[in-house]
């Protein structure tokens, strides 16, 4: 496939001095030389080591639990069971929310005491002088189970008489969309295309497993130094431990990868309980195998599309049914399902839409947030459907999409108006052009090219009433300090705030220092989830820095005897724009302000748009602040004798509004694309009767730098985003279109589509009807 690149609309973005430049991140040197202290690196005097005793059954009643031998083992300081902390329950609802009504049934027992609902469910905690003693203590815990009927298929779990995991009927959540008329839409169609797509679990497989240390400080507060995406969990932890909220102090660390897996509470609650019961510091670091067992997975889905189209490819009706597996506890399944529901029709204008989505409880591993938060599952299905529509109509895949692509001013299936740039055709043609001429087939190897487009939200659901705070101060030596609770996942969340403040206050990036992720000492900035931090904390930082800048310019206007509009601040100086030789050093200006009692710091609160929830019967209403749009393209070689798929070329093109740090944005696009390619081709988490059969990186394969070629990252900047300087979010969207793009390329090579990922050699051979 070869497409002519569509020209970009005329955009005149002002040149900036710091924002948009690929500057070295403020935390880069510490990581490069090994000075960055991650959660697992931290140790304290008199420190104990914690371990978790877990269920070896997927569905069973606990008939006997005896921890007496473990407690009697020399060196064991504490063994805690659910009987010791009967009120310890976790709120698994949307994290960081303070004013929302808790969703019914969202509580999860910290330690199971009567019944286990999934393999690996925590039952007891141990703290001991050494790891070896802690492991020995686990082996001394005696437990008897009475197996209970389990259910491991969400379709079976919905049937009458199925074992009940979540009362009353295993239905965790339902969402639906009703727009237009299905009857009218299908009557207008010249062709109806129907397909069922299956999307699997995915393991986060972050570089850094869950880790942390907890202790009781001199104020009597339980301090937890932990790798987390959400420091606001201190409220839930306080409730579960039975202390006041101001007696839980979360000190977040630089996170060695999260991808949503550290959005839920992981080890924080265990550390808090053990520290409280022993009055000593306690450290806990999961092994890779325990991490596989302990944290949530990406939701598997079954998605059915029935689409009516005209002969030119125009969609007249789209009926979509979706079922997701929530596992044993709800966690964030209702919200992931909502995201998938709203994104199910794809970035297309469709007058008649019906979506019915259900999330169902089973005795499988529980599922929750994962990079993309439901968007990748929807994208795989709708882009495979678009390719099949093109195939059955005998049309070019891009031509079918061009007829239907959303444009600025159009409405989504929920009636939300798209106000920012869409640039879907622009991204698709550039991604495909980057592949160049298609490599010829050779021998048994068939070559194919394909692409996928997507739309993805950034920022939280608008009826969550999201806010973020940031504090910015100018010191008397001309340096800048930022305080914000934003957890940095390694994606540059903290560095972006530094570049924004440096731009506004006219100082070099190396003069900016940021303090982050402390629930007691930094303003709360909300979760590092939902691709929200650049939008939310970025705007809070922009507001705070702008307020400080205004103070400086007000004082400078008196000094220069000029109007504020005539002045600027850059390179550590205030100056007259019409005569740049008239300068005032920022240090001298700061001292003038301080001597006159002018405030050189500001705490700002940024509020996202607040809306009412969508209509529960029609799904109509606004769901998110805005969307990112883009496309991914791939060229593959498929060996028809072995089924092996090799990626030859890959390119990703996204409109990110405005790059804050261009190198960091490229890193997100490449990293997200690699993770999406792994999702599409090799990451195969096998679960049988609730038990993970691929429980480590020896069996669960993830891509390395040797597996795939470098992804060419193409950044477009429309300047129409709601983030600082017109930025849009890219952290999660970078992953979304990769898997469907590689599936499209494989189908192009073989002439047959494979509606299920990962597309393994076995599936390729099966599609070719070969043994």
DSSP, residue by residue, 674-743: HHHHHHHHT----EETTEES--STTTS----TTTSPPEEEEEE--S--SSGGG----TTTTTTTHHHHHH
User: 29 with 53, same domain?
Assistant: no
User: Of the residues 543, 572, 607, which one is the last residue of a structural domain?
Assistant: 607
DSSP letter assigned to residue 32 = H
Question: Cα Rg for the chain, rounded, in angstroms?
Answer: 27
User: 553 with 638, same domain?
Assistant: no
Residues of 665-699 as b/e, b for ≥16 C-beta within 10 angstroms? bbbbbbbbbbbbbbbbbbbbbebeebbbebbeeee
User: 641 with 690, same domain?
Assistant: yes
Which DSSP string do the residues of 224-293 spell out, in sequence order? EEE--S-GGGHHHHHHHHTS-GGGEEEEE---S--TTTTTS--SHHHHHHHHHHHSS-EEEE--HHHHHH
User: 124 with 248, same domain?
Assistant: yes
CA distances in angstroms from 740 to 266, 444, 524, listed in the order given: 31, 24, 37
Number of domains in the chain: 3
Q: What is the rounded CA–CA span in Å between residue 178 and residue 356?
A: 9
CB neighbour list of residue 160: distance below 8 Å, 6 or more residues apart? none
- Return the CATH number at 720: 3.30.365.10
Residues in a beta bridge with 179: 353
For residue 249, is it within any domain? Answer: yes
- Return the CATH number at 84: 3.90.1170.50
User: 97 with 15, same domain?
Assistant: no
User: 116 with 255, same domain?
Assistant: yes
User: 50 with 142, same domain?
Assistant: yes
For residue 756, is it within any domain? Answer: yes
Q: What is the rounded CA–CA span in Å between residue 467 and residue 222?
A: 26
Which residues form the domain of 91?
46-150+204-294
For residue 365, is it within any domain? Answer: no
pLDDT at position 172, please? 95
Burial of 568 (0-12, 13-18, 19+ CB in 10 A): middle
pTM of the model: 0.97
For residue 352, is it within any domain? Answer: no
Burial of 597 (0-12, 13-18, 19+ CB in 10 A): exposed
The Cα diameter of the chain in Å comes to 85
For residue 318, is it within any domain? Answer: no
* Mean pLDDT of the residues in the chain: 96
Tell me the two tokens of residue 610.
């607040």
User: 128 with 259, same domain?
Assistant: yes
pLDDT at position 633, please? 98
User: 79 with 220, same domain?
Assistant: yes
pLDDT at position 102, please? 43
Q: What is the rounded CA–CA span in Å between residue 218 and residue 333?
A: 39
Q: What is the rounded CA–CA span in Å between residue 380 and residue 142?
A: 46
Residues of 7-34 as b/e, b for ≥16 C-beta within 10 angstroms? eeeeeeeeeeebbbbebebbbeeeeeee
For residue 350, is it within any domain? Answer: no
pLDDT at position 771, please? 65
Q: Where do the H-state alpha helices sit in 513-638?
A: 533-560, 586-595
User: Of the residues 294, 324, 339, which one is the last residue of a structural domain?
Assistant: 294
pLDDT at position 106, please? 63
The 10 Å Cβ neighbour count of residue 453 is 32
CB 22 within 8 A of CB 506: no
Residues of the chain short of pLDDT 70, as ranges, are 1, 93-106, 771
Q: In which residue are the tokens 């999702």 written?
A: 679
Tell me the two tokens of residue 185.
């839409």
Mode of pairing for the β-strands spanning 645-655 and 626-639 = antiparallel
For residue 696, is it within any domain? Answer: yes
Strand (E) positions, 8-120?
A: 48-54, 60-66, 76-81, 89-91, 107-109, 115-116
Q: What is the rounded CA–CA span in Å between residue 268 and residue 90?
A: 11
CA angle centred on 293, ends 291 and 299, rounded to 5°: 100
CB neighbour list of residue 538: distance below 8 Å, 6 or more residues apart? 496, 497, 500, 660, 723, 724, 727
User: 523 with 481, same domain?
Assistant: yes
For residue 231, is it within any domain? Answer: yes
Residues of 239-257 as b/e, b for ≥16 C-beta within 10 angstroms? bbbebeeebbbbbbbbbbb
pLDDT at position 101, please? 45
pLDDT (tens digit per residue) in 18-33: 999 999 999 999 999 9
pLDDT at position 93, please? 67
User: 129 with 222, same domain?
Assistant: yes
User: 484 with 447, same domain?
Assistant: no
Q: At what angle do helices 738-750 and 375-393 cross, to 10 degrees?
A: 30
User: Of the residues 581, 607, 633, which one is the last residue of a structural domain?
Assistant: 607
């Amino acid at each position: 496939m070869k497409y002519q690149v569509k020209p970009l609309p005329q955009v005149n973005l002002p040149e900036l001095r710091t924002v948009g430049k690929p500057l070295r991140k403020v935390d880069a040197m510490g990581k490069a030389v090994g000075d960055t202290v991650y959660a697992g690196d931290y140790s304290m005097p008199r420190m104990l080591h914690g371990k978790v005793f877990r269920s070896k059954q997927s569905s069973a009643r606990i008939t006997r639990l005896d921890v007496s031998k473990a407690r009697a083992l020399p060196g064991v300081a504490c063994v805690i069971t659910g009987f010791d902390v009967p009120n310890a329950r976790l709120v698994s609802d949307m994290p960081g929310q303070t004013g929302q009504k808790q969703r019914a049934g969202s509580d999860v027992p910290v330690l199971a005491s009567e019944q286990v609902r999934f393999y690996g469910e925590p039952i007891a905690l141990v703290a001991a002088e050494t790891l070896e003693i802690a492991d020995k203590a686990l082996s001394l815990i005696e437990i008897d189970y009475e197996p209970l009927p389990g259910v491991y298929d969400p379709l079976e779990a919905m049937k009458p008489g199925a074992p009940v995991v979540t009362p009353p009927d295993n239905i965790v959540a339902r969402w639906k969309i009703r727009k237009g008329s299905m009857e009218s839409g299908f009557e207008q169609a010249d062709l109806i295309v129907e397909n069922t797509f299956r999307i699997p679990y995915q393991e986060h497989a972050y570089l850094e497993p869950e880790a942390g240390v907890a202790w009781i400080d001199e104020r009597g507060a339980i301090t937890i130094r932990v790798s987390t995406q959400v420091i606001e969990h201190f409220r839930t932890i306080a409730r579960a431990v039975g202390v006041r909220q101001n007696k839980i102090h979360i000190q977040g660390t630089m996170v060695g990868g999260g991808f949503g897996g550290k959005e839920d509470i992981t080890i924080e609650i265990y550390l808090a309980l053990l520290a409280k019961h022993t009055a000593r510091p306690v450290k806990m670091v999961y092994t890779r195998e325990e991490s596989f067992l302990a944290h949530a997975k990406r939701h598997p889905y079954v998605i059915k599309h029935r689409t009516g189209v005209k002969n030119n490819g125009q969609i007249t009706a789209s009926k979509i049914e979706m079922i997701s597996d929530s596992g044993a506890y709800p966690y964030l399944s209702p919200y992931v399902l909502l995201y998938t529901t709203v994104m199910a029709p794809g970035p297309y204008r469709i007058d008649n839409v019906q979506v019915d989505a259900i999330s169902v409880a089973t005795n499988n591993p529980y599922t929750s947030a994962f990079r993309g938060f439901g968007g990748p599952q929807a994208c795989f299905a709708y882009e495979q459907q678009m390719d099949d529509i093109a195939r059955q109509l005998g049309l070019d895949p891009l031509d079918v999409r061009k007829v239907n692509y959303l444009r600025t001013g159009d409405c989504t299936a929920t009636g939300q108006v798209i106000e920012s740039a869409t640039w879907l055709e622009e991204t698709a043609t550039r991604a495909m052009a980057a592949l160049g001429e298609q490599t010829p087939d050779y021998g048994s190897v068939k070559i194919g090219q394909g692409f996928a487009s997507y739309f993805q939200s950034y920022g939280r659901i608008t009826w969550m009433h999201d806010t973020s705070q940031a504090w910015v101060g100018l010191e008397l030596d001309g340096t800048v300090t930022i305080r914000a609770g934003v957890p940095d996942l390694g994606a540059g969340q903290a560095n972006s705030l530094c570049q924004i403040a440096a731009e506004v206050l006219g100082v070099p990036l190396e003069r900016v220092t940021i303090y982050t992720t402390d629930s007691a000492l930094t303003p709360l900035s909300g979760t590092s989830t939902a691709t929200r931090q650049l939008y939310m904390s970025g705007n809070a930082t922009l507001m705070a820095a702008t307020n400080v800048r205004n103070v400086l310019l007000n004082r400078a206007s008196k000094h220069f005897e000029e109007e504020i509009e005539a002045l600027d601040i850059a390179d550590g100086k205030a100056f007259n724009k019409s005569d740049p030789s008239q300068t005032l050093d920022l240090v001298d200006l700061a001292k003038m302000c301080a001597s006159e009692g002018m405030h050189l710091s500001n705490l700002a609160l940024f509020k996202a748009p607040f809306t009412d929830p969508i209509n529960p019967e029609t799904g109509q209403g606004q769901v998110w602040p805005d969307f990112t749009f883009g496309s991914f393209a791939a060229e593959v070689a498929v060996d028809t004798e072995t089924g092996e798929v090799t990626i030859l070329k890959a390119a990703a093109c996204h409109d990110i509004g405005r790059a804050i740090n261009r190198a960091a944005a490229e890193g997100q696009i490449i990293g997200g694309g690699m993770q999406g390619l792994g999702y599409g081709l090799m990451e195969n988490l096998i679960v049988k009767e609730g038990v993970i059969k691929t429980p480590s990186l020896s069996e669960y394969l993830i891509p390395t730098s040797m597996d795939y070629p470098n992804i060419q990252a193409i950044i477009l900047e429309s300047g129409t985003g709601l983030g600082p300087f017109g930025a849009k979010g890219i952290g999660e969207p970078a992953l979304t279109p990769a898997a469907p793009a590689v599936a499209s390329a494989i189908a192009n090579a073989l002439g047959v589509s494979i509606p299920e990922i990962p597309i393994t050699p076995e599936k390729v051979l099966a599609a070719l009807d070969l043994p």
